[in-house]
Amino acid sequence: MSAMIDTAGWYSAARILPSPNFNARPPGVVVDLIVLHAISLPPGQFGGGHIERFFQNRLEIPAHPYFAEIQHLQVSAHFLIDRAGCVTQFVSTEDRAWHAGVSCWSARENCNDFSVGIELEGSESVPFSDAQYVQCARLCRQLQRRYPQIGEDRIVGHQDVAPGRKWDPGPQFRWDGFRSLLRDSEREQGEELG
């Protein structure tokens, strides 16, 4: 019943939709950062499966004028958490997904090399759903179990690693509430193990 990240880097609680947009992490790199993002496609609209298709290079270009602008991009995240809290995984956490772009954290550049990227379906103006917080905390807790170097202070926003260039997950994301959920899911794990 308990969800986990297996040794190949796949999350047992996720729907798997493989993306071609990944490559190997640099040799010897330690995964020690989680970058949270927000995305909606078309911008401001939820549902429709466009994010999933975007990460698989299968956007339906005629579906919206904006899609022609982004069709040349080859990007991905390891995970997407939709409005209902459903988790989809596109890239193994052992591999390097293409989510952070030009980025820097703690004087280290190219955060894609050493981070896991989680996209939350959301926007700058709409609160994230409770289900998204719950599932994001559970996923982050399992990532911390798989990669113990990911301390609580190493779960950051895209806006923190690409300031001025990226806004997400943005002002709607309640970091305090998220961190207390993360601690709760840690306690639940402890009780399970006990």
Residues making contact with Zn ion (CB under 5 A)? 37, 158, 168
Q: Which residues, in sequence order, are bridge partners of residue 23?
A: 96
From the CB of 38, what's the least distance to Zn ion, in Å? 7
From the CB of 194, what's the least distance to Zn ion, in Å? 37
CA dihedral 176, 182, 187, 193 (to 10 degrees): -170
188 is catalytic: no
CA dihedral 97, 81, 176, 127 (to 10 degrees): 120
Do residues 169 and 133 touch, judged by C-beta distance below 8 A? Answer: no
Of residues 99 and 185, the one with the C-beta less far from Zn ion:
99
From the CB of 116, what's the least distance to Zn ion, in Å? 13
Do residues 36 and 157 touch, judged by C-beta distance below 8 A? Answer: yes
Of residues 37 and 146, the one with the C-beta less far from Zn ion:
37
State the Cα angle at 81 between 50 and 119, rounded to 5°: 75
Choosing from 69, 119, 124, 191, the catalytic residue is: 119
Of residues 50 and 158, the one with the C-beta less far from Zn ion:
158
From the CB of 192, what's the least distance to Zn ion, in Å? 32
Of residues 160 and 184, the one with the C-beta less far from Zn ion:
160
CA proximity to 119, closest of 161, 154, 156, 77: 77
Catalytic residues: 119
